[in-house]
Amino acid sequence: MAAATIGVVGMSELLVHTPEPTLHTLGLTELFVGIILIPRVGNVAEHLVAAQMAVENQMGLSLEIAMGSSMQIALLVTPALVFASLALGRPMDLVFHPLEPVAMMMAGGIAAFIALDGETNGLEGAQLLAVYGMLGIAFA
């Protein structure tokens, strides 16, 4: 487990520092990469399982996987990183770009709307993708 953790840390460092030259070439901001691209790569296993459950028509489980992952980051990982940064002597605060709280509210609102009736369909999936696309354009 320790070796796997060390491997993940090393790969994360490569993932974060490797795209910098490409960012400048493509004209992408670090905010876009940090909010749109890197989370996709970091949670690819959860996304694959959620998609597999959706294909198997277990939409409730698929929705729980996707929403549980987001809640885990918001309620556990972010505060843990703030405290770890204090312990490491490089304090990190939770000062957000003005668009980030708006994005969180949009995502929370659409997720609550989707989960409210306990069912989902293709139109609701398209709505989720549209919100994601809008946020991607806003952060670009």
pTM of the model as a whole: 0.66
Residue 115, pLDDT score: 80
pLDDT tens sequence across 107-129:
888 888 888 877 777 788 788 88
Tokens for 32?
A: 């876009």
Asked if 8 contacts 107 with a C-beta cutoff of 8 angstroms, the reply is no
Q: What one-character-per-residue DSSP string does 54-72 give?
A: HHTT-HHHHHHHHHHHHHH
pLDDT tens sequence across 79-108:
888 888 888 888 888 788 888 888 888 888
pLDDT tens sequence across 32-83:
777 777 777 777 788 888 888 888 988 788 878 878 877 887 788 888 888 8
